[in-house]
Structure 1
Amino acid sequence: MLTKIKFTVLFSFFLLIIGYSCKEKGNNAKVNIGGDEPVEVETPPLEVPKGMVWVPGGKFMQGAVPGDKMAMMHEKPAHDVSVDGFFMDEHEVTNAQFSEFVKETGYVTVAEREIDWEEMKKQLPEGTPKPHDSILQPGSLVFKKTKTSVPNLYDFSQWWEWKIGANWNHPSGPNSTIIGKENHPVVHIALEDALAYCEWAGRRLPTEAEWEYAARAGKNDALFFWGNDITLLSNYANSWEGEFPVNNTQEDGFERLAPVMSYPKNGFGLYDMAGNVWEWTNDWYNSNYYEEMANKNGVVHNPLGADKAFNSNNPYAQEKVIKGGSFLCSASYCASYRISARMATSPDSGMEHLGFRTALSVK
């Protein structure tokens, strides 16, 4: 399998080869969790952890809502799902929070580790020659604007570059810093990094169903967490406005990352559930999963995602589902600030627009 991060590490090389929180407990409250009228739901049986919000359990239709002309095929068909109540971070994990984790544990992220060619070549076509040592160095994917219009938006290499020395602590490369950006979401986070943080914090990653349910916050038929009015996008999310990837008009106030909680929260009290950075979920990405779920009888309770990964466009890929879109999402490209939007990415990939938030079950 040639995963995304390995593809990008070797991208230049292959071009030569192929020619290219409310501390409540014990009471009931009325919350809209799936109908037109608020229904009575149980409030958390525990004190709400600091920095988290309570997401009351309920059911919803997971996937694209009727009439969503921007929906991709892997968002269909919508299917009945229910989830138990859980706690969720009110915003994406920040640089300050991740710094505390690293300081306490000494953890080194995937993007900071030396690359093991002997291990990497096991996942490449037999006979692939070793790249020059100048290329085979730790780093991550950093966004770069193009100077002119891009006719082919399927070729992501036009706006991504492998930047040696880019990582969570140096998000734009070795000369960059997170000083002054403590409240920005931490990025360049591979799945392993997110899971390590979760273990340290005593948390977990949300499932895709939990994430989407939490983002929807009872708005059953809405395209976005604020409703259906796309003209309000710049008021509610950090996305790309203007011609992608040439010019960002910054109508939302930011060209790249925004500090967490820069935009209004949703109905459950969660911030940044659209745009800013993509967020890891715990689910394997499988192109057939939604179809399989729709064929089940009745409501599926607490789904954990597909048993195994499968991408029909790349059968050898082992990918996880990420949700929420990022500051790069544009109406002309992916419009992934929509609630049902989803994307597949390799677990060992770190990128400038990929972060996470944690969840916590009630036991």
Structure 2
Amino acid sequence: MTSFLSRPAVAVLGLVVGCVPAKEGTAPSGTRVERVSPPGSVWLPAGRFEMGSPAGEPGRDVDEGPRTELTFERFQMDVTPVTVRAFAARREQVRAKDPQARWWTDAETPGDWLGRCNLGSERTDHPVNCVDWRAARAYCELVGGALPTEAEWEYAVRASTASAYWWGESFEAERVVGSVPCASRGCRGGTAPVVHAGPRCNGWGLCDMAGNVWQWTATGYQERLGEDAPAEPSGVPAKPVHRGGSWLNHVPSLFRSAHRGLAYPKNGLTGVGFRCVRRP
């Protein structure tokens, strides 16, 4: 575990209905998936999955269990993390919606944070980072959506797979934006532009679900998955879970589909962003 992460939380099932015209595609499993052109949203099919990791999975943390079977109706999720360009266009609306929301610009990046904050830079097609949970929630609500629950996020990243990573059982560097190849935290230097196709996109057309930036969820941390978890996220979680790993991370296991992380703002938020889901 890096000092930037820790453990995170449970999930809530969300039924999500989108409001964007969609095209159809096909997932590897044969499940039909409706898609919109980037930078839009993808319809995720109804289905069932086991949240968490099996006891023998390499790199597994104890808070990734017990494995819990969950069922979803179809819902809609952003294809990519929210970009700097998209967030900047609504920045004043976010501030008006939640005056307590916080974010940092490139010029305001604290000197002891690794990397740079992307707002106020020319990196407009990169994921927005250095935004706190409240800012992410406010943005999603402004665009008619919400932050995904932890369960929704894991269902989405797995895309009908049950392997340690969404692409298989072994880490593959080309699938993520991370610092694994140089084996030193933050050695990559920063985020990368979002993509809409290629090896960083899973079978349901969701891109950068692992790597580039961690992604906030609506769920507050619980030590165990399952029945002891709260059924609905409420208010502002004291310890909101984030998922996916980021450019800062050099430990392969942090990019696994079941890994759960906690952000510590004092250590910097240059590796944290978000994406939205849409519900009825």
What's the TM-score, normalizing by structure 2? 0.76
1:323 maps to 2:243? yes
Alignment match of 2:121 (pick from 174, 178, 183) = 178
Q: In the alignment, which residue of structure 1 is the partner of 2:62?
A: 73
1:287 maps to 2:223? yes
Q: Structure 1 89/140 Cα, relative in aligned 2: closer, same or farther at 3 Å?
A: farther
**What amino acid maps onto 1:225 in structure 2?**
W
Q: Structure 1 74/307 Cα, relative in aligned 2: closer, same or farther at 3 Å?
A: farther
**What amino acid maps onto 2:249 in structure 1?**
C
Higher mean C-alpha displacement, 195-204 vs 271-280: 195-204
Q: CA deviation at 1:106?
A: 5.9
**Which runs of 5 or more residues in structure 2 are unaligned?**
5-19
Task: Check the 8 A contact 1:275/1:324 in 2, yes or no.
Answer: yes
Q: In the alignment, which residue of structure 1 is the partner of 2:22?
A: 23
Q: In the alignment, which residue of structure 2 is the partner of 1:205?
A: 147
**Which runs of 5 or more residues in structure 1 are unaligned?**
5-20, 114-137, 146-165, 170-176, 249-253, 294-301, 310-317
Q: Structure 1 198/350 Cα, relative in aligned 2: closer, same or farther at 3 Å?
A: farther
Q: CA deviation at 1:292?
A: 3.2
Over residues 201-260 of structure 1, what are the superposed CA-to-partner deviations in whole Å (9 max), with x where a residue is unaligned?
Answer: 11111111110000000112x111111232xx2211011122323x84xxxxx5321111
Within 1, Cα distance between the matches of 2:270 and 2:204? 27
Within 1, Cα distance between the matches of 2:265 and 2:233? 15
**What amino acid maps onto 1:270 in structure 2?**
L
**What amino acid maps onto 1:110 in structure 2?**
R
Q: In the alignment, which residue of structure 1 is the partner of 2:17?
A: none
Q: Structure 1 22/112 Cα, relative in aligned 2: closer, same or farther at 3 Å?
A: closer
Within 1, Cα distance between the matches of 2:111 and 2:51? 30
Within 1, Cα distance between the matches of 2:36 and 2:193? 27
Q: Structure 1 104/76 Cα, relative in aligned 2: closer, same or farther at 3 Å?
A: closer
What's the TM-score, normalizing by structure 1? 0.60
Within 2, Cα distance between the matches of 1:74 and 1:283? 14
Task: Check the 8 A contact 1:190/1:349 in 2, yes or no.
Answer: no
Task: Check the 8 A contact 1:208/1:305 in 2, yes or no.
Answer: no
1:264 maps to 2:200? yes
Where in structure 1 do 4 or more consecutive aligned residues deviate above 3 Å? 29-32, 46-50, 103-109, 138-145, 288-293, 302-309, 345-350
Task: Check the 8 A contact 2:114/2:270 in 1, yes or no.
Answer: no
Over residues 256-301 of structure 1, what are the superposed CA-to-partner deviations in whole Å (9 max), with x where a residue is unaligned?
Answer: 21111175310100000111110000001011344736xxxxxxxx
Q: CA deviation at 1:112?
A: 5.5
Within 2, Cα distance between the matches of 1:187 and 1:283? 19
Task: Check the 8 A contact 2:178/2:247 in 1, yes or no.
Answer: yes
Alignment partner of 1:110: what SS? Answer: coil
Q: Structure 1 337/110 Cα, relative in aligned 2: closer, same or farther at 3 Å?
A: same
Alignment match of 2:167 (pick from 226, 229, 234) = 226
% identical equivalent positions: 28
Within 2, Cα distance between the matches of 1:97 and 1:350? 22
Over residues 2-49 of structure 1, what are the superposed CA-to-partner deviations in whole Å (9 max), with x where a residue is unaligned?
Answer: xx9xxxxxxxxxxxxxxxx98248xxx8756xxxx645x6x66x9889
Task: Check the 8 A contact 2:104/2:131 in 1, yes or no.
Answer: no
Q: Which structure exhibits the higher relative contact order, with contacts defined as CA atoms closer than 8 Å and separated by 6 or more residues?
A: 2
Q: In the alignment, which residue of structure 2 is the partner of 1:354?
A: 272
Q: CA deviation at 1:72?
A: 0.6
Q: In the alignment, which residue of structure 2 is the partner of 1:345?
A: 263
Over residues 167-192 of structure 1, what are the superposed CA-to-partner deviations in whole Å (9 max), with x where a residue is unaligned?
Answer: 552xxxxxxx511x111100111011
How many residue pairs end up in the alignment?
254
Q: CA deviation at 1:351?
A: 0.5
Q: Structure 1 48/205 Cα, relative in aligned 2: closer, same or farther at 3 Å?
A: farther
Q: CA deviation at 1:111?
A: 3.9
Q: Structure 1 305/141 Cα, relative in aligned 2: closer, same or farther at 3 Å?
A: farther
Cα RMSD (Å): 3.6
**What amino acid maps onto 2:102 in structure 1?**
V
Over residues 289-339 of structure 1, what are the superposed CA-to-partner deviations in whole Å (9 max), with x where a residue is unaligned?
Answer: 44736xxxxxxxx95469996xxxxxxxx20110001112222xx721110
Within 2, Cα distance between the matches of 1:275 and 1:73? 22
Q: CA deviation at 1:64?
A: 1.0
**What amino acid maps onto 2:272 in structure 1?**
L
